Amino acid sequence: MKSINNKEFLQNKHQAGIILRPNSKELKDVYLSIKEKFERHGIKTIIEKISGEMIEVTDGLSLTMLARECDFLVTIGGDGTLISVARRSIKFGKPILGINLGTLGFLTSVLPEELDKFLSDFLEDIYTIDSRMMIKAIINKNKTIAFNDIVLKSKSVAHMVNIEAFIDGKKFNSYYGDGLVVSTPTGSTAYNLSSGGPVVYPLTDAFIVTPISAHSLTQRPLVLPADFEIELKTPDENGAIVLIDGQDIYELKKNESVKIKIANQKSKLIRSIERDYFSVLNQKLNWGK
């Protein structure tokens, strides 16, 4: 388990690809205002095709083309929008700037009213790019990527689920309860935290394995080095469901497995230097108050 905090800067900042929160037609004026701020600082913007169609802007590009052509990506919405874009664009390695609409999120870096100042600093290399570990999973031959977590749960809220867990092919535990969360350090403040798991510094490479309402009091959260492969399966006749970042869902039949490893690529998040992780914990979790 190791902590990584590389000083990395963009060589080019000429073009930004913008993705909006889905199903939010009311964002058109916000988008036009943000677009104007970027272009006032000499940064051209291109909107993602689906986002553009949502607000009746017709010159957008697919996310794949956007990630190929732009120097960095910008999400306008909340943490969920950023997570979705990070998962879908990971293979292109483009840094993502999150603009949050409303309260400050864990991942989104700036509010719209802070954007002018941030862009002035950004052009002077006064910012940080954080590299965040992501999870690669194989579920019944389906390959997927998780930013925050992978969760195994019973198909029915009325029943608990048995989960057998293996590390590098060797069984290390059996869980019986409402489910199991396998989280990245970034995701440690999401479902993992609400299930009683630990907060782990997000630039660490590690897995956090946390039972959800375990039937046994001896079951406790576990932090594992990220070079292990974790395999999960259920002996239950009814099987289980697998949730990926709360965004995608898969069905797991009896004795079928989920294989989990650290992804080859990391997600890169652009962050204001004025917004460090511990100040966010203070604001979001009321630490130190």
How many angstroms separate the CA atoms of 169 and 280, rounded? Answer: 38
Residue 205: active-site member:
no
Residues 6+ apart with CB under 8 A from 166: 172, 230, 231, 232, 233
Identify the CA nearest to 206 among candidates 231, 220, 186.
186
- Of the listed 71, 79, 121, 248, which one is catalytic? 79
H helices of the chain, in order, are 28-40, 49-54, 63-69, 79-89, 115-123, 191-194, 277-285
Angle (CA) 155-160-163 rounded to 5° is 85
Contact 147, 131 (CB under 8 A): no
Structure tokens at 41: 């600082």
Active site residues: 79
